[in-house]
Structure 1
């Protein structure tokens, strides 16, 4: 990691106020800045929604970059920006509220826009290879009733798989799950986990 790392924070909760993932990711970034005082922070809030991948986007993505039309370049412009942010990041912080056992549609749209062949992964004779190696990721997962890493948690393993697919295998999960049962205790445990994770990484 460089002496002046870049932290990319992805927020996805539909709630601005009272969001546990937003509170915890803010706390995590603050703690990371205590360790990396010269770090630069990029923030990307996807909660308002992102364009979904459609036929025109797929056609543009699979066209040789040198042969793309102006319309195709425009179609990929947001994806190019999101990919550039991800490539620039040394540390990735993803807020992942659990909606109906999975991640929010807005976060899934972000995944679809950054998981791009020849940009963040490539196909080889031995299978796909992630191109974003050497990065650290923290995934902050919050749920009302779903236990993290249980049989009905489709958010956490999905995000870990996606990150590994693009080359990010150093992933720490911060869980604030089953908040409807004992919210204060779960919040306190998540804040303690943030402290432990950052201290160990340092």
Structure 2
């Protein structure tokens, strides 16, 4: 089994989402011995933001028609999508920045969204091509958003990640939330305790390519 561990927080050692992903990976590898772990830190190795040069995922018949910038951007996209497709389990650390995910994480996702690789258009609409994977999203939030309709309407972090991975055909999406981490010491401690309990459940759940989506 291959696990891809991804962090995207810019807060280094002070990051809650980084702590969560490390705990998830540690728990997962303890429960699934022999798991091969690959690591990607998007705050350090950030793909360029999506551009016209990065649009040509499928190489033309002759590389001569490509500019140097296009070749470079295509190579980055190919490396990232191949790494993603090779993984059975993807653990993603995603803090909430201004109601959404970090731009570094969005840049990575933009490189994955390739027709013919992670999805295709069929007669009945979109068909996801990355089926059979498990995604565990570790979400950190300074405030609390999940307990009210107004809060849920404001966050485009969990909702976006579920949508895009569902678009890729992934149905086993597991969510760990640490909310209220900036609302005082007691709130932060409670958030981490709740997240820790969730990790123990989600990381010990059997790997099942056909599993339905879980949100804890």
Same fold at TM > 0.5: yes
2:213 maps to what in 1? none
2:212 maps to what in 1? none
Alignment of 1:82-97 (within 5 A): 82-97=80-95
1:11 maps to what in 2? 7
CA contact (8 A) 1:12 1:96 kept: yes
Distance, in Å, in 2 between the alignment partners of 1:152 and 1:197 is 26
2:50 maps to what in 1? 53
Q: 1:44 aligns with which of 34, 40, 47?
A: 40
1:116 maps to what in 2? 114
CA contact (8 A) 1:146 1:153 kept: no
Query: How far did 1:117 drift?
Result: 0.7
Query: How far did 1:177 drift?
Result: 1.1
CA contact (8 A) 2:181 2:188 kept: yes
What TM-score do the two structures reach when normalised by structure 1?
Answer: 0.91
Distance, in Å, in 2 between the alignment partners of 1:201 and 1:151 is 32
1:162 maps to what in 2? 164
CA contact (8 A) 1:121 1:165 kept: yes
**Ranges in structure 2 where 5+ consecutive residues have no aligned partner:** 208-216
User: Matched residue of 1:53: which SS?
Assistant: coil
Q: State yes or no: 1:151 paired with 2:153.
A: yes
Runs of 4+ deviating beyond 6 Å: none
**Ranges in structure 1 where 5+ consecutive residues have no aligned partner:** none
Q: CA RMSD in A?
A: 1.6
CA contact (8 A) 1:12 1:107 kept: yes
What count of residue pairs does the alignment treat as equivalent? 196
Q: 1:196 aligns with which of 183, 197, 201?
A: 201
2:211 maps to what in 1? none
Distance, in Å, in 1 between the alignment partners of 2:204 and 2:79 is 32
